[in-house]
Copies of this chain bind each other. A is one copy, B any other.
Amino acid sequence: MGGDFAPENVVAGAVQALQESQGRFSIVLVGHEGRIKSELVKFSFPGDSCSVVNATEVIDMHDSPNAALKVKKDSSITVGVSLHRDGKVDAFVSAGNTGAVLSASTLILGRLRGVGRPTIGILIPTEHGRSMLVDAGTNVDCKPRHLFEFALMGSVYVAYILGRKHPTIGLLSIGEEENKGNEVSLEAFRLLRKSKLNFVGNVEGRDILKGKVDVVVCDGFVGNILLKFGESIPSFFKTKFKNFSSQSVLNRLMVLFARRGMRTVMKELDYQEHGGVPLLGVNGVSIIGHGGSSAKAIKNMIYRAEEIVQHQLTMRIQEAMVQYHA
């Protein structure tokens, strides 16, 4: 029931995943049974690969997460995450209220041992492939120890899901020298340096798009601001090219001719295309998608969940937590 186009897009995306994946997994749809079933009848798929579990309430995008979780006990988010906790499903996927999915996942699944703050990392485009920016906005006021956890979890994700051996970790700061930073980052630097993680030191704002490290660590305040700043770059250039284009006929021709190239390149900055992001550090697999998710985005989120389950990411993070804290 989550997201701006539920249950239509959610059901359509789930069915697409079932059709394409040919029996690799089955899907349990959670929410208003009647509404979901009236969507399901529009499609054909192997009958036993999809079932529905009823949930009578919906937490919508404007609900205050914690209040809503308390009041709406039978919401699709609570029921879905609980199915996962009870071992009925291997992963939970939602395009619903981000805060509610975060809170429900943390409360119902619990945190992994040693994790103070579960986190979300986002893969961002760089000049050389992708890097993970973690935390992407979940944890606003952080202690040095939380930044250390983000580094560790991000690095396990990049190692297992992107298949990069010994991913490099950089701490986002205002200079490369270890004495550059704010109070929290200076202490996080010390924690990271004395750990066995592949920590290369501070990185600066200019190193992110260069792809200098595999994992860029920051608090969620900085992460959120940076990601939203990044999202706004295409619009900035669109306006500037429009101005340029209006200056002369030659300029207009130039922009027209180059339009396809620009679109291709700008599209790289649209990291929302890639579907949902996993909540790292909870005892389970919980994938959070954009509220405006298309059916395709929902499908990709389901594949993302499958991938994470197959790579046993939760267990890998738990192992790393124990190993690096020893």
Please list the residues of chain A having a beta carbon within 8 angstroms of any beta carbon in chain B: 126-127, 137, 140-141, 172-174, 181-183, 185, 204-210, 218-222, 224-233, 235-237, 239-241, 244-245, 251, 254-255, 257-258, 260-262, 264-265, 268
Chain B residue at minimum C-beta to C-beta distance from A179:
B64
Task: Point out the residue from B137, B204, B220, B251 that lies within 8 Å of A228, measured CB to CB.
Answer: B204
The verdict on A205 contacting B221 (CB below 8 Å), with A126-B236, A237-B265, A240-B268 known, is no
Pair A209/B236 contact, Cβ less than 8 Å = yes
A183 — which chain B residues lie within 8 A by C-beta? 141
**In the assembly, what is the distance between CA of A232 and CA of B251, in Å?**
25
Task: Point out the residue from B208, B218, B225, B232 that lies within 8 Å of A174, measured CB to CB.
Answer: B225
Question: Could you list 21 examples of A-B contacts with CB < 8 Å?
Answer: A127-B236, A127-B240, A173-B225, A174-B224, A182-B219, A205-B229, A205-B231, A206-B231, A206-B232, A208-B232, A209-B229, A210-B235, A210-B236, A221-B222, A226-B226, A240-B265, A241-B265, A244-B261, A254-B257, A257-B257, A258-B258
A264 — which chain B residues lie within 8 A by C-beta? 244
**In the assembly, what is the distance between CA of A244 and CA of B268, in Å?**
11
**In the assembly, what is the distance between CA of A236 and CA of B237, in Å?**
13
Least Cβ–Cβ distance between A276 and chain B, in angstroms: 19
**In the assembly, what is the distance between CA of A183 and CA of B221, in Å?**
10
A222 — which chain B residues lie within 8 A by C-beta? 221-222, 225
A126-B236, A204-B224, A241-B265 given. 7 additional CB < 8 A pairs?
A137-B174, A205-B228, A208-B232, A210-B235, A237-B265, A257-B257, A258-B261
**In the assembly, what is the distance between CA of A140 and CA of B227, in Å?**
20
Pair B265/A261 contact, Cβ less than 8 Å = no
Least Cβ–Cβ distance between A264 and chain B, in angstroms: 6
A137 — which chain B residues lie within 8 A by C-beta? 174
Pair A229/B258 contact, Cβ less than 8 Å = no
